[in-house]
């Protein structure tokens, strides 16, 4: 590439460093920052965000982008540079459309809504949260109108998290998923098979669980030279830059599993980031409405990587054929009298719950669908915020056969809406579906995969993911990337088939 | 204050946040950053430094400063605003004088010299370091010429660390100090008194030492709500902003003392930062040649606070009257058969060493003086870099009665010159002298001090330091601050008297 592209790269590098520095501040805030540091930290965040925003939407970047695009005319559309320019153009256009007043108003509404939500959840009092959520919704709708003055407002929001995805795509795929998944859960609940999770509920030493998780994710291929795991109130992955991708985990649960599976989940995210091609680095991307140093393609593809490691690998029989003896060696008394089969069944027990983050593989998507349907209704105007608790109860009954006793375990359980994340939930289910679509292809390309997993050999799997998914970063839109890999668009079939096979066997369904 | 000052405050706040964010990055780099993160981190640092430098020396800030100064005409010179404007004017003028090319050249020379020094020290090979040091010296001289085209070059360098201080002031005070301190060390070495440090060399559990240090500095008044202590390769204090002032410590030494005294030393620095008046915050100051979120007055005054806590408090008999029983309870077997008196003597043992950072109170200044004399000769041109190893050996023999067997334990031992810190060493001795000058005044104002210290009561001491030293930040030049507190200028007498009394008693000198 020529001079114009290099000039653009230089401008982007400054923004990239500011955005990455801001992530260092966020990481610190959620891990080690002393309690009194919050106010000064908020000011530092605001300053870094303002400066990076100003540089990103500035005329200087606009002109440099235009010049680089002119220079790139005729370039191979599969080249890294063409991919970078496509994504930058999209993000620049989106971010330029949003006036500074909206950003400021939204930041205030967000901060207020979060505080109100936290208290309302404690009090299980949706009415207290209602005005704040109405404000958030109104602002998100006006944001969507900026981007889609004629089109679907929900599409405009969804596009922030899953570029190019439409509500109609989701409706189609969820329509296929819903009846079959509801039916599966029903069959499981009627099964007489013995699946006992009580063995996991014994106290397991937390430090040993933590270390076992570290051991596993190192085997998976998480690069500790370019990352680390620290304690935080909840698990997350954060990219400070693409050679410093950290994960966090909680360390409170004595029951076996949540520490390990959180490590594997976050390692799935983090290995994606660590695998983005060096040639794509140094260009910030828009993730949600915020600039991000990641240059990953979408939340759905991201989630496919974490779900794959957590579930398709971590909850598979092959994986535990390899690791169960090791686990027994670490916890000899806790696992006394437990065999591989009982253990495998226990970590795959299906039990509908009211709480999304506690949901198992068989029910997780049902939690997402009810949220999607509600969001869609809110954004399209067919649902009123005031009606949410009742609608939530109804849908929970329909999909999960449970009735929330209060708003705390119903409509108030998730942080997302209070934070302004409307259009975000579907990406969790996209992650599930895409993980299974990729897995189907991986099994074709790596016929030996099960045996490798049994031997804790993950290098072929990681190499495949690196080549097909990670390295491409945000070069293609997510569905184009999926199509290039699988030859197919979004589909619910592989995931449904995976679920059905797995649980038919465990629960001895006809 | 009016509109112009508020405008200036706004501009400074942005720089302040950038500088503070950069410190978060530094803290992380030295505590938790994974090894592979270094390259990306260096880019983030460079970007934040460039942006804050550009804003600081920009015309916009210059104009706002001028307007605020006009607005402030007639303002009480003791007001916070007048103090802020004086310091900003000084720092702005200094930083504006330095061309961007010099900054870039120096950064490269610094980075190279550091790497070369590290290897040369390992190899104990001064010749390998010589060209890099010559380059650093030449650049520091040309920097000094920018600031003092007619005056003393060394003064110009010293002024970066100790505003207003002159080489002639140091010469005078060191001239008084040197013969008496050399004589004291000689008398001690001839003493027959039994001072045994072997009891400290038993292995003491590191975690218990660490926790004891935390306990002590919490008593001293270090505010853990606005700070924390983490492990790092060497102890330091770092200000992320003035409500988040962290310290680090090593955790390698099993011999008793280095962990505790490092905690107390760094807590002395950190309590200073935590005590700077809120009304002075948000204005970056120039520390050395770098912008800093601290707004503290000088390195000498800073060091007076750390030395006071480490030595005047931490190595006093009164302190151990209170803490020795506690220490015995923590280490019952390690301290079996050791009484307070033997312990007090052991932590105050005098033994000349070749290595500055291992030096005791009686010999520390001698290490500094030899460095000062050499620096001065280098900057003034009366010494050549090539001659340093020999001069170092000579002076070490004269002052300490020892001869370095190699350059590693001689001229190559310290990092400072490789980092470009020429004119910095004297601030260590200034810290010692000023700590004793302040201590003399504190004892007058708090006649009950010894008894309070025996009871681990430090609130009066901290309140005194807050009122007289900490709160003023960089409002006055260091010597003006000292004069306001003690009614006196810099003086070696109180420190000499302190040393002489303390060691005459311990070593039973005539």
> What is the pLDDT at residue A437?
98
Burial class for B332, CB neighbours closer than 10 Å (0-12, 13-18, 19+): exposed
> What is the pLDDT at residue A151?
87
User: In the predicted model, is pLDDT for residue A510 greater than 80?
Assistant: no
Query: In chain B, whose CA is at the least distance from the CA of A26?
Result: B24
Please name the member of A36, A44, A227 whose beta carbon is closest to the beta carbon of B17: A44
> What is the pLDDT at residue A252?
81
Contacts of B28 in chain A (CB under 8 A): 24, 27-28
Q: List C-alpha distances in Å: B96 to A43, B54, B103, B306, B337.
A: 27, 10, 11, 32, 62
Nearest residue to B154 (alpha-carbon basis) of B166, B172, B169: B166
Q: List C-alpha distances in Å: B85 to A376, A417, B445.
A: 56, 46, 32
Catalytic residue, from B71, B266, B303, B477: name it: B266
User: Residue A21 and residue B20: Cβ atoms within 8 Å?
Assistant: no
User: In the predicted model, is pLDDT for residue A288 greater than 90?
Assistant: no
Chain A / chain B CB contacts < 8 angstroms: 117
Contacts of B43 in chain A (CB under 8 A): 13, 17, 241
CB A84 within 8 A of CB A278: no
State how far residue A34 is from chain B, nearest Cα, in angstroms: 6
- Chain A residues whose C-beta is within 8 A of a chain B C-beta are 13-14, 17-18, 20-22, 24-25, 27-28, 32-37, 39-41, 43-44, 46-48, 51, 223-228, 230, 240-244, 246
**CA dist., res. B474 & res. B16, Å (int):** 15
Nearest residue to B426 (alpha-carbon basis) of B367, B483, B473, B470: B367
Is B206 in a helix, a strand, or coil?
helix
Phi, psi dihedral angles at B475 (to 5 degrees): -65, -40
Query: In chain A, whose CA is at the least distance from the CA of B12?
Result: A47
Q: Which helix (H) or strand (E) holds A238?
A: strand A237-241
Contacts of B47 in chain A (CB under 8 A): 13-14, 17-18, 21
What DSSP state is assigned to residue B337? T
> What is the pLDDT at residue A165?
96
User: Residue A241 and residue B18: Cβ atoms within 8 Å?
Assistant: no
Nearest residue to A141 (alpha-carbon basis) of A130, A125, A157, A127: A157
User: Residue A44 and residue B37: Cβ atoms within 8 Å?
Assistant: no
Please name the member of A17, A32, A243 whose beta carbon is closest to the beta carbon of B37: A243
Contacts of B241 in chain A (CB under 8 A): 37, 40-41, 43-44
**CA dist., res. A202 & res. B290, Å (int):** 55
Please name the member of A20, A25, A226 whose beta carbon is closest to the beta carbon of B36: A226
Contacts of A243 in chain B (CB under 8 A): 36-37, 39-40
State how far residue B271 is from chain A, nearest Cα, in angstroms: 14
User: Residue B44 and residue A226: Cβ atoms within 8 Å?
Assistant: no
> What is the pLDDT at residue A232?
93
User: In the predicted model, is pLDDT for residue A260 greater than 80?
Assistant: yes
> What is the pLDDT at residue B1?
74
**CA dist., res. B469 & res. B484, Å (int):** 10
> What is the pLDDT at residue A434?
98
User: Residue A241 and residue B44: Cβ atoms within 8 Å?
Assistant: yes
Query: In chain B, whose CA is at the least distance from the CA of A51?
Result: B14
Q: Chain centroid to CA B215: how far?
A: 23
State how far residue A56 is from chain B, nearest Cα, in angstroms: 15
User: In the predicted model, is pLDDT for residue A452 greater than 90?
Assistant: yes
Task: Please give the model's pTM, rounded to 2 decimal places.
Answer: 0.95
Active site residues of A: 266
> What is the pLDDT at residue A194?
85
State how far residue A189 is from chain B, nearest Cα, in angstroms: 46
**CA dist., res. B297 & res. B473, Å (int):** 6
Please name the member of B36, B240, B242 whose beta carbon is closest to the beta carbon of A243: B36
User: Residue A14 and residue B51: Cβ atoms within 8 Å?
Assistant: yes
User: Residue B40 and residue A243: Cβ atoms within 8 Å?
Assistant: yes
Please name the member of A27, A224, A244 whose beta carbon is closest to the beta carbon of B40: A244
**CA dist., res. A448 & res. A435, Å (int):** 19
Residues of chain A with pLDDT > 90, as a percent, come to 93
- Chain B residues whose C-beta is within 8 A of a chain A C-beta are 13-14, 17-18, 20-22, 24-25, 27-28, 32-37, 39-41, 43-44, 46-48, 51, 223-228, 230, 240-244, 246
One pLDDT digit (tens) per residue for chain B, 510 residues: 799 999 999 999 999 999 999 999 999 999 999 999 999 999 999 999 999 999 999 999 999 999 999 999 999 999 999 999 999 999 999 999 999 899 889 989 998 999 999 999 999 999 999 999 999 999 999 999 999 988 899 999 999 999 999 999 999 999 999 999 999 999 999 999 989 889 899 899 999 999 999 999 999 999 999 999 999 988 999 999 999 999 999 988 789 999 999 999 999 999 999 999 999 999 999 988 899 999 999 999 999 999 999 999 999 999 999 999 999 999 999 999 999 999 999 999 999 999 999 999 999 999 999 999 999 999 999 999 999 999 999 999 999 999 999 999 999 999 999 999 999 999 999 999 999 999 999 999 999 999 999 999 999 999 999 999 999 999 999 999 999 999 999 999 999 999 999 999 999 997
Contacts of B305 (CB under 8 A, 6+ apart): B268, B269, B271, B272, B431, B435, B465, B469, B470
**CA dist., res. B215 & res. B260, Å (int):** 10
CB A423 within 8 A of CB A158: yes
User: Residue B36 and residue A241: Cβ atoms within 8 Å?
Assistant: no
Please name the member of A14, A39, A226 whose beta carbon is closest to the beta carbon of B37: A226
User: Residue B24 and residue A20: Cβ atoms within 8 Å?
Assistant: no
User: Residue A34 and residue B240: Cβ atoms within 8 Å?
Assistant: no
CB A17 within 8 A of CB B43: yes
Q: List C-alpha distances in Å: A355 to A300, A374, A409, A410, B57.
A: 21, 16, 6, 8, 55
When mean pLDDT is compared across A72-76, A218-222, A482-486, the lowest value belongs to A72-76
CB A153 within 8 A of CB A144: yes
Query: What's the pLDDT tens digit per position in A3-23?
Result: 999 999 999 999 999 999 999
Please name the member of A17, A40, A246 whose beta carbon is closest to the beta carbon of B241: A40
State how far residue B13 is from chain A, nearest Cα, in angstroms: 9
Query: In chain A, whose CA is at the least distance from the CA of B16?
Result: A44
């Amino acid at each position: 590439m020529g001079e114009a592209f290099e000039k653009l790269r230089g401008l982007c590098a400054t923004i990239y460093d500011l955005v990455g520095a801001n992530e260092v501040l966020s990481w610190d805030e959620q891990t080690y920052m002393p309690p009194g540091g919050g106010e000064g930290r908020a000011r530092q965040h605001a300053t870094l965000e303002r400066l990076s925003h100003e540089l990103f939407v500035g005329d200087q970047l606009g002109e440099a982008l235009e010049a680089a695009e002119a220079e790139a005319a005729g370039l191979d559309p599969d080249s890294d540079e063409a991919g970078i320019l496509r994504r930058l153009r999209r993000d620049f256009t989106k971010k330029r459309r949003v006036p500074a007043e909206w950003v400021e108003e939204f930041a205030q509404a967000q901060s207020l809504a979060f505080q109100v939500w936290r208290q309302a959840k404690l009090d299980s009092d949706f009415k207290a949260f209602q005005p704040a959520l109405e404000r958030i919704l109104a602002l998100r709708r006006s944001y969507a109108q900026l981007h889609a003055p004629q089109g679907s407002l929900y599409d405009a929001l969804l596009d922030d998290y899953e570029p190019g995805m439409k509500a109609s795509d989701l409706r189609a795929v969820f329509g296929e998923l819903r009846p079959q998944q509801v039916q599966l859960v029903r069959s499981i609940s009627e099964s007489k098979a013995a699946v006992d999770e009580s063995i996991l509920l014994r106290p397991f030493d937390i430090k040993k669980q933590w270390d076992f998780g570290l051991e596993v994710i190192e085997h998976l291929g998480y690069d500790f030279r370019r990352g680390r795991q620290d304690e935080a109130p909840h698990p997350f992955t954060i990219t400070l830059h693409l050679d410093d991708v950290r994960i966090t985990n909680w360390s409170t649960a004595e029951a076996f599993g949540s520490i390990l599976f959180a490590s594997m989940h976050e390692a799935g995210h983090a290995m994606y980031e660590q695998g983005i091609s060096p040639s794509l680095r140094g260009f910030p991307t828009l993730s949600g409405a915020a600039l991000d140093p990641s240059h990953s393609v979408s939340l759905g593809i991201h989630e496919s990587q974490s779900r794959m490691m957590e579930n398709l690998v971590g909850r598979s029989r092959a994986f535990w054929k390899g690791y169960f003896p090791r686990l027994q060696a670490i916890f000899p008394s806790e696992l006394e009298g437990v065999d591989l089969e009982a253990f495998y069944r226990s970590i795959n027990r299906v039990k509908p719950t009211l709480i999304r983050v506690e949901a198992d593989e068989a029910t997780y998507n049902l939690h997402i669908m009810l949220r999607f349907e509600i969001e869609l209704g809110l954004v399209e105007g067919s649902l009123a915020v005031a009606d949410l608790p009742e609608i939530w109860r109804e849908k929970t009954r329909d999909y999960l056969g449970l009735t929330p006793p209060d708003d705390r375990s119903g409509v108030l359980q998730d942080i997302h809406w209070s934070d302004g994340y409307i259009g975000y939930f579907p990406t969790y289910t996209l992650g599930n579906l895409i993980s299974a679509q990729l897995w189907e292809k991986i099994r074709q390309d790596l016929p030996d995969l099960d045996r490798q997993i049994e031997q804790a050999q993950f290098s072929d799997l990681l190499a495949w993911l690196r080549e097909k998914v990670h390295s491409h970063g945000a070069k293609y839109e997510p569905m184009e990337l999926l199509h290039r890999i699988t030859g197919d668009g979004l589909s619910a079939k592989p995931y449904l088939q995976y679920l059905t096979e797995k649980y038919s066997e465990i629960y001895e369904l006809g």
